[in-house]
Amino acid sequence: APVVTIAVDGPSGSGKSSVSRAVATRLGLAYLDTGAMYRAATLWCVRSGVPLEDAGAVAAAVVAMPLEMGVDPSAPTVVLAGDDVAEAIRTTDVSSVVSQVATNLDVRAELRRRQRAVIETEAVGGFSGGRGVVAEGRDITTVVAPDADARVLLTASEEARLRRRSLEVHGAADADAVEATKDQVLRRDRDDATVSQFLVAADGVATVDSSDLDFDQTVEAVLAVVEHVT
Ligand code: C5P
Protein backbone atom coordinates (compact mmCIF):
# COMPACT_ATOMS: atom_id res chain seq x y z
CA ALA A 1 0.00 0.00 0.00
CA PRO A 2 1.20 3.55 -0.69
CA VAL A 3 2.32 5.80 2.17
CA VAL A 4 -0.56 7.88 3.50
CA THR A 5 -0.38 11.09 5.49
CA ILE A 6 -3.70 12.28 6.87
CA ALA A 7 -3.98 15.74 8.43
CA VAL A 8 -6.88 16.58 10.74
CA ASP A 9 -7.44 20.01 12.30
CA GLY A 10 -10.20 21.33 14.48
CA PRO A 11 -11.13 23.23 17.63
CA SER A 12 -11.37 21.71 21.09
CA GLY A 13 -14.44 19.54 21.55
CA SER A 14 -14.70 18.71 17.85
CA GLY A 15 -13.78 15.12 18.67
CA LYS A 16 -10.66 15.23 16.54
CA SER A 17 -8.44 13.24 18.91
CA SER A 18 -10.72 10.24 19.36
CA VAL A 19 -11.81 10.32 15.72
CA SER A 20 -8.22 10.56 14.45
CA ARG A 21 -7.18 7.66 16.66
CA ALA A 22 -10.00 5.50 15.32
CA VAL A 23 -9.13 6.40 11.72
CA ALA A 24 -5.46 5.53 12.34
CA THR A 25 -6.43 2.20 13.90
CA ARG A 26 -8.74 1.33 11.00
CA LEU A 27 -6.05 2.09 8.40
CA GLY A 28 -3.05 0.68 10.31
CA LEU A 29 -1.41 4.09 10.57
CA ALA A 30 0.49 5.83 13.35
CA TYR A 31 -1.26 8.59 15.30
CA LEU A 32 0.30 11.91 16.28
CA ASP A 33 -1.45 14.22 18.76
CA THR A 34 0.27 17.58 18.23
CA GLY A 35 -1.85 19.29 20.88
CA ALA A 36 -0.27 16.92 23.40
CA MET A 37 3.14 18.25 22.30
CA TYR A 38 2.10 21.86 23.02
CA ARG A 39 0.68 20.71 26.34
CA ALA A 40 3.90 18.82 27.20
CA ALA A 41 5.96 21.91 26.27
CA THR A 42 3.84 23.95 28.67
CA LEU A 43 4.22 21.42 31.47
CA TRP A 44 7.98 21.29 30.84
CA CYS A 45 8.31 25.07 31.25
CA VAL A 46 6.15 25.07 34.39
CA ARG A 47 8.11 22.18 35.93
CA SER A 48 11.43 23.80 34.99
CA GLY A 49 10.41 27.06 36.63
CA VAL A 50 10.60 29.00 33.36
CA PRO A 51 8.36 32.08 33.50
CA LEU A 52 5.87 31.83 30.63
CA GLU A 53 6.19 35.59 30.00
CA ASP A 54 9.87 35.12 29.10
CA ALA A 55 9.53 34.16 25.41
CA GLY A 56 13.27 33.58 24.92
CA ALA A 57 13.57 31.31 27.95
CA VAL A 58 10.41 29.40 26.94
CA ALA A 59 11.77 28.80 23.43
CA ALA A 60 15.16 27.65 24.78
CA ALA A 61 13.48 25.26 27.21
CA VAL A 62 11.30 23.74 24.48
CA VAL A 63 14.26 23.25 22.12
CA ALA A 64 15.94 21.24 24.91
CA MET A 65 12.76 19.39 25.96
CA PRO A 66 13.26 15.58 26.17
CA LEU A 67 9.87 14.54 24.76
CA GLU A 68 8.97 11.18 23.29
CA MET A 69 5.61 10.73 21.57
CA GLY A 70 4.29 7.17 21.40
CA VAL A 71 2.31 6.94 18.15
CA ASP A 72 0.42 3.64 18.53
CA PRO A 73 -3.22 4.77 18.06
CA SER A 74 -4.50 2.07 20.44
CA ALA A 75 -2.21 3.33 23.23
CA PRO A 76 -0.63 6.70 22.46
CA THR A 77 1.85 7.92 25.08
CA VAL A 78 3.47 11.21 26.04
CA VAL A 79 6.77 10.70 27.86
CA LEU A 80 8.57 13.75 29.21
CA ALA A 81 12.04 13.21 30.70
CA GLY A 82 11.13 9.55 31.22
CA ASP A 83 7.87 10.45 32.97
CA ASP A 84 4.43 9.47 31.59
CA VAL A 85 2.60 12.82 31.56
CA ALA A 86 -0.56 11.79 29.67
CA GLU A 87 -2.75 12.82 32.61
CA ALA A 88 -0.71 15.77 33.88
CA ILE A 89 -0.97 17.59 30.53
CA ARG A 90 -4.81 17.47 30.63
CA THR A 91 -5.20 19.35 33.92
CA THR A 92 -6.67 22.86 34.05
CA ASP A 93 -3.25 24.13 35.20
CA VAL A 94 -1.90 23.28 31.74
CA SER A 95 -5.04 23.91 29.65
CA SER A 96 -5.44 27.44 30.99
CA VAL A 97 -1.94 28.56 29.92
CA VAL A 98 -1.11 26.36 26.91
CA SER A 99 -2.11 29.07 24.41
CA GLN A 100 0.57 31.33 25.88
CA VAL A 101 3.27 28.80 24.98
CA ALA A 102 1.62 27.89 21.66
CA THR A 103 1.67 31.52 20.47
CA ASN A 104 5.48 31.60 20.81
CA LEU A 105 6.71 31.41 17.19
CA ASP A 106 10.04 29.81 18.13
CA VAL A 107 8.16 27.13 20.05
CA ARG A 108 5.98 26.52 16.99
CA ALA A 109 9.03 26.22 14.73
CA GLU A 110 10.62 23.67 17.05
CA LEU A 111 7.49 21.55 17.48
CA ARG A 112 6.69 21.76 13.76
CA ARG A 113 10.20 20.41 13.06
CA ARG A 114 9.61 17.49 15.44
CA GLN A 115 6.15 16.82 13.98
CA ARG A 116 7.54 16.67 10.45
CA ALA A 117 10.27 14.32 11.67
CA VAL A 118 7.59 11.91 12.95
CA ILE A 119 5.71 12.13 9.63
CA GLU A 120 8.93 11.40 7.71
CA THR A 121 9.83 8.50 9.98
CA GLU A 122 6.38 6.94 9.51
CA ALA A 123 6.71 7.27 5.73
CA VAL A 124 9.70 4.90 5.73
CA GLY A 125 9.27 2.78 8.87
CA GLY A 126 8.44 3.67 12.45
CA PHE A 127 5.40 2.26 14.21
CA SER A 128 3.40 1.99 10.99
CA GLY A 129 6.16 0.15 9.13
CA GLY A 130 6.04 2.84 6.45
CA ARG A 131 2.27 2.96 6.03
CA GLY A 132 1.98 6.52 7.30
CA VAL A 133 0.36 8.64 9.96
CA VAL A 134 -2.73 10.53 11.02
CA ALA A 135 -1.53 13.85 12.49
CA GLU A 136 -4.04 15.97 14.35
CA GLY A 137 -4.02 19.54 15.67
CA ARG A 138 -4.67 23.15 14.69
CA ASP A 139 -2.24 23.82 11.83
CA ILE A 140 -1.56 20.38 10.34
CA THR A 141 -3.63 20.85 7.16
CA THR A 142 -2.17 24.32 6.55
CA VAL A 143 1.39 24.51 7.91
CA VAL A 144 2.82 21.21 9.17
CA ALA A 145 1.63 18.97 6.32
CA PRO A 146 -0.08 21.08 3.64
CA ASP A 147 0.82 18.38 1.08
CA ALA A 148 -0.83 15.56 3.07
CA ASP A 149 -2.78 13.04 0.98
CA ALA A 150 -6.01 13.79 2.83
CA ARG A 151 -6.75 16.98 4.75
CA VAL A 152 -9.81 17.32 6.97
CA LEU A 153 -11.18 20.12 9.10
CA LEU A 154 -13.37 18.60 11.78
CA THR A 155 -15.87 21.15 13.02
CA ALA A 156 -18.91 21.11 15.29
CA SER A 157 -21.33 23.74 16.49
CA GLU A 158 -20.36 25.64 19.62
CA GLU A 159 -23.20 23.91 21.46
CA ALA A 160 -22.03 20.42 20.48
CA ARG A 161 -18.41 21.22 21.35
CA LEU A 162 -19.28 22.57 24.79
CA ARG A 163 -21.46 19.56 25.52
CA ARG A 164 -18.65 17.14 24.62
CA ARG A 165 -15.95 19.01 26.53
CA SER A 166 -18.20 19.23 29.54
CA LEU A 167 -18.78 15.47 29.47
CA GLU A 168 -15.04 14.94 29.15
CA VAL A 169 -13.99 17.30 31.94
CA HIS A 170 -16.92 17.10 34.38
CA GLY A 171 -18.50 13.79 33.42
CA ALA A 172 -21.77 15.65 32.94
CA ALA A 173 -23.43 17.94 30.42
CA ASP A 174 -26.10 19.63 32.53
CA ALA A 175 -26.44 23.42 32.35
CA ASP A 176 -24.04 24.08 35.26
CA ALA A 177 -21.31 21.82 33.93
CA VAL A 178 -21.59 23.31 30.44
CA GLU A 179 -21.41 26.82 31.86
CA ALA A 180 -18.27 25.94 33.85
CA THR A 181 -16.62 24.64 30.67
CA LYS A 182 -17.70 27.51 28.47
CA ASP A 183 -15.30 30.26 29.52
CA GLN A 184 -12.25 28.07 29.25
CA VAL A 185 -13.09 26.51 25.88
CA LEU A 186 -14.13 29.73 24.17
CA ARG A 187 -11.20 31.70 25.55
CA ARG A 188 -8.73 29.05 24.40
CA ASP A 189 -10.29 28.97 20.92
CA ARG A 190 -9.98 32.74 20.69
CA ASP A 191 -6.35 32.75 21.89
CA ASP A 192 -5.48 29.89 19.53
CA ALA A 193 -7.08 31.69 16.59
CA THR A 194 -4.30 34.27 16.79
CA VAL A 195 -1.74 31.67 15.64
CA SER A 196 -3.67 29.63 13.16
CA GLN A 197 -7.04 29.84 11.51
CA PHE A 198 -8.65 26.50 12.30
CA LEU A 199 -12.32 27.39 12.25
CA VAL A 200 -12.52 27.83 8.47
CA ALA A 201 -11.26 25.24 5.98
CA ALA A 202 -8.31 26.30 3.83
CA ASP A 203 -8.35 25.67 0.07
CA GLY A 204 -8.50 21.96 -0.71
CA VAL A 205 -9.35 20.97 2.87
CA ALA A 206 -12.54 18.93 3.32
CA THR A 207 -14.88 19.96 6.12
CA VAL A 208 -16.61 17.34 8.24
CA ASP A 209 -19.22 18.82 10.58
CA SER A 210 -19.82 16.39 13.43
CA SER A 211 -22.56 18.38 15.21
CA ASP A 212 -25.27 15.91 14.24
CA LEU A 213 -23.12 12.81 13.82
CA ASP A 214 -22.31 10.24 16.47
CA PHE A 215 -18.76 8.98 16.92
CA ASP A 216 -18.93 6.10 14.41
CA GLN A 217 -20.60 8.28 11.80
CA THR A 218 -17.87 10.88 12.19
CA VAL A 219 -15.15 8.25 11.75
CA GLU A 220 -16.93 6.99 8.60
CA ALA A 221 -17.19 10.54 7.23
CA VAL A 222 -13.42 11.08 7.65
CA LEU A 223 -12.68 7.67 6.12
CA ALA A 224 -14.87 8.64 3.14
CA VAL A 225 -12.72 11.75 2.57
CA VAL A 226 -9.57 9.61 2.73
CA GLU A 227 -10.99 7.10 0.24
CA HIS A 228 -12.02 9.86 -2.09
CA VAL A 229 -8.52 11.34 -2.33
CA THR A 230 -6.22 8.30 -2.04
O1 C5P B 1 -5.83 19.76 20.84
P2 C5P B 1 -5.54 20.24 22.22
O3 C5P B 1 -6.73 20.91 22.86
O4 C5P B 1 -4.94 19.21 23.12
O5 C5P B 1 -4.43 21.38 22.01
C6 C5P B 1 -3.91 22.07 23.12
C7 C5P B 1 -3.39 23.43 22.68
O8 C5P B 1 -2.21 23.28 21.88
C9 C5P B 1 -4.33 24.25 21.82
O10 C5P B 1 -5.22 25.00 22.64
C11 C5P B 1 -3.36 25.16 21.07
O12 C5P B 1 -3.00 26.27 21.86
C13 C5P B 1 -2.14 24.29 20.91
N14 C5P B 1 -1.99 23.68 19.57
C15 C5P B 1 -1.46 24.42 18.55
N16 C5P B 1 -1.20 23.85 17.33
C17 C5P B 1 -1.48 22.55 17.12
C18 C5P B 1 -2.06 21.78 18.15
C19 C5P B 1 -2.33 22.38 19.38
O20 C5P B 1 -1.20 25.62 18.72
N21 C5P B 1 -1.19 21.99 15.95
DSSP calls for 100-152 = HHHT-HHHHHHHHHHHHHHHHHHHHSTTTTSSEEEEEESSIIIII-TT-SEEE
Domain coordinates in residue numbering, the chain: 4-229
Does 11 appear as a known binding residue?
Answer: yes
Give me the interface pTM, i.e. the ipTM.
Answer: 0.98
pLDDT at 15: 87
Check pLDDT > 90 for residue 30: yes
Would you call 18 helix, strand, or coil by DSSP?
helix
Q: What architecture is the 4-229 domain classified under in CATH?
A: 3-Layer(aba) Sandwich (3.40)
Residue 133, pLDDT score = 98
pLDDT digits (tens, 9 = 90+) for 70-98: 999 999 999 999 999 999 999 999 999 99
Q: Of 87, 110, 192, which is best to mutate to test ligand 1, by the most ligand atoms within 8 angstroms of its C-beta?
A: 192
pLDDT at 42: 98
Average pLDDT over residues 187-196: 75
Q: What is the pLDDT of residue 195?
A: 64
What pLDDT is attached to residue 229?
81
pLDDT of residue 1: 67
pLDDT at 197: 66
Whether residue 124 has pLDDT greater than 70: yes
pLDDT digit string (tens) for 197-230? 667 788 899 999 999 999 999 999 999 999 988 7
Q: What are the tens digits of pLDDT across the range 150-176?
A: 999 999 988 888 888 888 878 888 888
Q: Give the β-pairing of 30-33 and 132-137.
A: parallel
Measured from the Cα of 192, ligand 1's closest atom is 12
16 marked ligand binding residue: yes
Q: pLDDT at residue 19 above 90?
A: yes
Cβ neighbours of residue 146 closer than 8 Å, sequence gap 6 or more: none
Asked whether residue 171 is marked as a ligand-binding residue, the answer is no
Q: What pLDDT was estimated at residue 174? A: 84
Identify whether the C-beta of residue 23 lies closer than 8 Å to the C-beta of residue 222.
yes
pTM: 0.93
17 C-alpha vs ligand 1 centroid, how far in Å? 11
Q: In the structure, which protein residues have their CB atom closer than 6 angstroms to any atom of ligand 1?
A: 12, 34-35, 38-39, 98-99, 102, 137-140, 188, 192, 195
